Amino acid sequence: MIMENSNKTFELFRNKKVIITGGLGFIGSNLTKKLVELGAKVTLVDSLIPEYGGSMFNIHGLEDKVWLNISDVRDHYSMEYLIQGQDYLFNLAGQTSHIDSMKNPKTDLDINCTSQLSILEACRNQNSSIKVVFASTRQIYGKPDYLPVNEDHPLRPVDVNGINKMAGEWYHILYNNVYGIGTCVLRLTNTYGPRMRIKDARQTFVGIWIKLILQNKPFEVWGGCQLRDFTYINDCVDALLLAACNDETNGQVFNLGGACVVSLKDLADLLVDVNGGGSYSIHEFPAERKKIDIGDYYSDFSKFEKAVGWRPQIDLREGLTRTLEFFKTNIAEYI
């Protein structure tokens, strides 16, 4: 399979029942848009807790094409009901802030770990034939021993969020191996694009950069020489769909990655260039951030490419251009 044939592959989602946890969030809403276009019957689950990024505006124009349930994934009874009859579950709900996880570790545990076990129990009890794709994070690797990082790299999370996401991963793999529920895990890396959270840095530092540059304010670059890769949201959505519709992914963990590797300073320069103006200053990491910074990181996604044919299609300049265009039009809805 190659990416050029993905649209034909995605036709299998037509009339399929799909449930998305965190459906009003950044990734969930973009996935929703694509699934609606493909003719899927989509149920969204979102708590709309302000800190976690869900927004009704994210599904603007789709309100009458999806079924929305305002519910928390920590509500076991709700998930037991909602999971029934579904063909696919994209399990995207989570607490994403690394700093918040250190300040409120119990909340992070409840959302990123305990609730994952409850969701999988709901699948086992009510719908064991469902296919589940779980969104994890490259943060669980910690500070890399080598680059690019592949799935064989040791897991050494540097914060509470990473530890709980790691546990969530292994619950999914366990339920595949023991109970035969088709599950797989995608470790995401710096996903960006339209509908991302930009009001603060809870989701990604790129968001706060975009907010400030569009407000004609300088933004801060911490460090500057760290290397990163970035996945544009459309590429991430394609990866989720490919993971869901291929049995070869069952019981497997995969990295996603970006089309290029870039330093944070070069990323800042590119953002200013694409925007046609702007400014930034370079600073040392704040103390609380420095303790959990992982240094350079970029992914080896060849395992996933071999399994399903996925490769990033949108380069960084094009992705930033599309992102800025979206927020220039809709910034009032996101700040």
**pLDDT at residue 94, rounded to an integer:** 76
pLDDT at 201 over 90: no
**pLDDT at residue 2, rounded to an integer:** 46
- Contacts of 301-304 with CB under 8 Å at 24 or more apart are 301/254, 301/255, 301/256, 301/257, 302/150, 303/150, 303/151, 303/252, 303/254, 303/255, 304/186, 304/239, 304/243, 304/254, 304/255, 304/256
pLDDT at 268 over 90: yes
User: Which of these ranges, 88-102, 117-131, 198-212, 307-321, has the smallest mean pLDDT?
Assistant: 88-102
71 compared with 200, residue with greater pLDDT: 71
Domain count, the chain: 1
Q: Identify the H or E element spanning 172.
A: helix 160-179
Two tokens at 46? 């979102």
271 compared with 7, residue with greater pLDDT: 271
Whole-angstrom Cα distance, residue 172 to residue 306? Answer: 22
Q: What is the mean pLDDT of the chain?
A: 92
Quick one: pLDDT band at residue 5, thresholds 50, 70, 90? low
Whole-angstrom Cα distance, residue 27 to residue 232? Answer: 10
Instruction: Give pLDDT tens digits for 135-179.
Output: 999 989 999 999 999 999 999 998 888 889 999 999 999 999 999
Quick one: pLDDT band at residue 203, thresholds 50, 70, 90? low
**pLDDT at residue 132, rounded to an integer:** 98
Residue 274: name the closest of 334, 213, 200 by CA.
213
Give me the CATH number covering residue 111: 3.40.50.720
Q: Phi and psi dihedrals of 311, rounded to 5?
A: -145, 150
Chain centre to alpha carbon of residue 15 = 25
Question: Exposed, middle or buried, 145 (CB in 10 Å: 0-12/13-18/19+)?
Answer: exposed
The three-class DSSP label of residue 46 is strand
- Residue that has been written with the tokens 């579904």 in this structure: 86
Full residue range of the structural domain in which residue 41 is found: 3-333
CB atoms within 10 A of CB 40: 24
User: Which of these ranges, 98-112, 115-129, 321-335, has the smallest mean pLDDT?
Assistant: 98-112
Residue 91 Ramachandran class (φ > 0 left, ψ -120 to 50 alpha, else beta): beta
Quick one: pLDDT band at residue 96, thresholds 50, 70, 90? low
**pLDDT at residue 3, rounded to an integer:** 55
Q: Phi and psi dihedrals of 31, rounded to 5?
A: -65, -40
pTM: 0.94
Instruction: Give pLDDT tens digits for 206-244.
Output: 999 999 999 999 999 988 899 999 999 999 999 999 999
Task: Show Cβ contacts of residue 47 under 8 Å, excluding neighbours closer than 6 positions.
Answer: 54, 70, 71, 72, 73, 93
What does the pLDDT average to over 317-321?
98
pLDDT at 311 over 50: yes
